[in-house]
Amino acid sequence: MKVLVTGFDPFGGEPVNPAFEAVKLLPRTTAGADVDILEIPTVFHKSIEAVVKRAEEMCADRILMVGQAGGRFEITVERVGINVDDARIPDNEGNRPVDVPIDPDGPAAYFATLPVKAMTERIRSRGIPAKVSNTAGTFVCNHVLYGVLNAAAKKGLPVKAGFIHVPYLPEQAAGKDSVPSMSAVTIAAALEAAVEAMATTGEDVKVSGGREH
């Protein structure tokens, strides 16, 4: 099994992106799967293209995309990507779309095709805070999740794909007031657990990971 794990470059004025800082620490083999990593630009559309290109080149069976969720407490495994860009801040090339569909011909949403519950459970079993999230936002993170699932569906690729959001690093939180953080080593351990679950789980487990709102 071949797994592609991507992480964004820094954006929004941050000097680092905890996503790629942690991705860099991943072992290249996990649970029998070959793991390839890739830093992708925090740019609308170019991010999708970068993931799809590499996934096709390496014939990836699984794609795990990772992004920063500044302000979140836990590792969050995303359930769904929606067909809209609505940017509060510009991306790294100055694009700031507002209420524009990612693909005007695409469906309203795609559910992640990775086993989100099994991944979440596996991370928590390692003593690391994790939960399922029902929104990846409306910026480049949601964009690349939706876009890669859309490309896989349209091209009929057998790949399964999903997204994990990670908190700020302590060094990022040190300059802010009372925001949660997680060390790169802890985040990397969570990602490794997620890759294990991705590589070894067939159908997802049926455990509640829902929320009232």
Contact positions vs a copy of itself (CB under 8 A): 12, 67-74, 79-80, 82, 84-89, 96, 98-99, 107-111, 117, 124, 127-139, 141-142, 165, 169-171, 173-174, 176-183, 185-186, 204, 206-213
Question: Which of 56, 175 has the CB closer to a copy of itself?
Answer: 175
- Residue 141 among the catalytic residues: yes
- Residue 143 among the catalytic residues: no
Question: Which of 94, 208 has the CB closer to a copy of itself?
Answer: 208
Catalytic residue among 21, 45, 74, 78: 78
Question: Which of 41, 170 has the CB closer to a copy of itself?
Answer: 170
Task: Tell me the three-class secondary structure of the chain, residue by residue.
Answer: CEEEEEEECCCCCCCCCHHHHHHCCCCCEECCEEEEEEEECCCCCHHHHHHHHHHHHHCCCEEEEEEECCCCCCEEEECEEECCEECCCCCCCCCCCEEECCCCCCCCEEECCCCHHHHHHHHHHCCCCEEEECCCCCCHHHHHHHHHHHHHHHHCCCCEEEEEEECECHHHHCCCCCCCECCHHHHHHHHHHHHHHHHHCCCCCCCCCCCCC
Residues involved in catalysis: 78, 141, 165
